[in-house]
């Protein structure tokens, strides 16, 4: 049995379950998807401050997973912590931001991202640039919806992402990436309304992690993602 952790970037357990359910649809029958919600952090990650808090909480959570899972999906679009996670774990770690772009690029010359709030756009740009994927990105379009608003009216949410997708296509995108783990499951509705492929990052990341595991590929530890240097470290106490 292969065990893949789907790690939420925030403390909202319902969003963890949404992402885990989407991941289960794309992996083989011998794969167990393990939903993981940080014990502390932020209810929703929207902005730099939230993102750095989220990254710290996720990294502490991942330390407790070492040796218990075969791979990790980091279910935060544009959030920090990806490189640190690869330092502390030897198993494959795939972030949904890069996974969505990797899946999109064979499907069209340029892709676009549709996301939640406007302030997330800069973070997503930086995440894609760090991963070496920004050159093929035609546009990152926000819907103006907060992360915790996504479930308030599922139809209105889906329509907002359709409208954002249309704007991305007008900017040159030939493939659309859904830019939030909380959107997992919306891709079918959006695909019906847009003339281009629509990629969900959670599904893409789960599929990538599974493929890496089956090929017995692990994170390189010789330079960039070598284990952290031994030293005294401590996490803050929390209730």
**Residue 88: per-residue pLDDT:** 96
Confidence of residue 191 (pLDDT cuts 50, 70, 90): confident
Structural element, H or E, at residue 36: strand 31-36
**Residue 176: per-residue pLDDT:** 96
Question: What CA–CA distances, in Å, run from 35 to 28, 107, 150, 175, 238?
Answer: 16, 29, 20, 28, 22
Q: Over the chain, what is the mean pLDDT?
A: 92
Nearest to 196 by CA among 172, 167, 175, 170: 175
CA separation for the pair 85, 60 (Å, rounded): 9
- The answer to whether the beta carbons of residues 183 and 161 sit under 8 Å apart is yes
Side-chain-facing half-sphere of 239: CA atoms under 13 Å:
0
pTM: 0.93
**Residue 184: per-residue pLDDT:** 61
**81: how many CB neighbours lie within 10 A of its CB?**
23
Nearest to 103 by CA among 212, 220, 202, 226: 202
CA separation for the pair 162, 160 (Å, rounded): 5
pLDDT in tens, 120-170: 999 999 999 999 999 999 999 998 876 666 666 677 788 888 999 999 999
- The answer to whether the beta carbons of residues 44 and 77 sit under 8 Å apart is no
First-to-last C-alpha distance (Å) of the chain: 34
| Domains of the chain by start residue, with CATH | 2-96+203-214 (3.40.50.12500), 97-201 (3.40.50.12500)
For the cut 80, the answer to whether the pLDDT of residue 236 exceeds it is no
């Amino acid at each position: 049995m292969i065990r893949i952790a789907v790690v939420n970037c925030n403390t909202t357990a319902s969003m963890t379950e949404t992402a885990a359910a989407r991941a289960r649809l794309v992996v083989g029958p011998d794969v167990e998807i393990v939903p993981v919600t940080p014990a502390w952090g932020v209810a929703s990650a929207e902005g730099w401050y939230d993102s750095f808090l989220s990254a710290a909480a996720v990294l502490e959570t991942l330390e407790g997973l070492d040796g218990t899972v075969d791979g990790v999906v980091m279910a935060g679009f544009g959030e920090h912590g990806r490189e640190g996670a690869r330092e502390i774990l030897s198993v494959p770690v795939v972030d949904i931001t890069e996974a969505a772009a990797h899946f999109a690029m064979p499907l069209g010359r340029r892709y676009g991202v549709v996301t939640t709030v406007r302030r997330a756009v800069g973070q997503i740009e930086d995440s894609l640039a760090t991963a070496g994927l920004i050159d093929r990105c035609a546009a990152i379009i926000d819907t103006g919806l907060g992360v915790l608003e996504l479930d308030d009216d599922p139809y209105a949410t889906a329509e907002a992402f359709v409208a954002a997708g249309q704007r991305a296509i007008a900017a040159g995108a030939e493939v659309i990436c859904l830019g939030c783990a909380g959107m997992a499951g919306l891709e079918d509705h959006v695909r019906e309304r847009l003339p281009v492929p629509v990629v969900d990052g959670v599904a893409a990341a789960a599929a990538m992690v599974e493929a890496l595991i089956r090929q017995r590929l692990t994170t390189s530890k010789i330079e960039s993602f070598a284990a952290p240097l031994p030293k005294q470290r401590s996490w803050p106490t929390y209730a």
